[in-house]
Amino acid sequence: MNSICVFCGAQPGARGEYLAAAGQLGRLMAARGIGLVYGGGGEGMMGAVADAVRTADGRAIGVIPQRLIAKEQANPAADLRVVNNMHERKALMGELSDAFIVLPGGLGTLEELFEVWTWRQLGFHRKPCGLLNVAGFYDTLLQHIAGANQSGFIRREHRDLLLVAGEPGELLEKVLTAR
């Protein structure tokens, strides 16, 4: 595996565990020679994972729309790819990545999670999709997904395409060994 796309928040979140997990994931990826593809921001969760990768002498490619360079404080330490819009951003991130990992984040992160997971369900790619449930951040979302499965809206085999773990190392292993 050459690179993993990490979707996460441009904000740091309210708990220190979120940033700590982002940093740990970045260090683990760099130690294994796995490059980071991410949203290009220099602050919050995005900045934490990218800084950890770069500090450990890893590779970080940031993909950011021109319009968000100032808002997300584009990270000058990353190899930035500037695109025109969010659709181009996600397409290029997917193209450059062998897998996806989702960390805590807001609306954009949720949208990215559901898009790449849906693409996998529909067979548009066969890349592993992982969700890092740091400190139970995604517990209620996972309960909703289980309810949608029980109600007949998400098939078990599609639900199981989303790999979930609470610790960065555990999730990275699941992603690296997924079929």
Instruction: Find, among 161, 15, 146, 143, the residue nearest to 99 by Cα.
Output: 161
CA dihedral 25, 27, 29, 33 (to 10 degrees): 180
Q: Is the pLDDT of residue 54 over 80?
A: yes
> What is the distance between the alpha carbons of residues 78 and 178, in angstroms, rounded to a whole number?
28
Q: Is the pLDDT of residue 21 over 80?
A: yes
Check if the beta carbon of residue 151 is closer than 8 Å to that of residue 45: no
Q: What is the pLDDT of residues 84-120, one digit of tens each?
A: 999 999 999 999 999 999 999 999 999 999 999 999 9
Give the burial class of 154: count Cβ atoms within 10 A of its Cβ; 0-12 exposed, 13-18 middle, 19 or more buried. Answer: buried
Tell me the pLDDT of the chain averaged across its residues: 95
Q: What is the pLDDT of residues 116-148, one digit of tens each?
A: 999 999 999 999 999 999 999 999 999 999 999
Instruction: Find, among 152, 108, 112, the residue nearest to 11 by Cα.
Output: 108
Confidence of residue 68 (pLDDT cuts 50, 70, 90): confident
Beta strands, E only, 12-171: 35-38, 60-65, 79-83, 99-102, 129-132, 162-165
Q: Is the pLDDT of residue 76 over 80?
A: no
Q: What is the pLDDT of residues 23-53, one digit of tens each?
A: 999 999 999 999 999 999 989 999 999 999 9
Q: 112: which 2 tokens? A: 């990215």
Check residue 179 and give its pLDDT.
78
> What is the distance between the alpha carbons of residues 163 and 177, in angstroms, rounded to a whole number?
11
Check residue 72 and give its pLDDT.
74
Check residue 70 and give its pLDDT.
78
Query: What amino acid is encoded at 137 in this protein?
Result: F
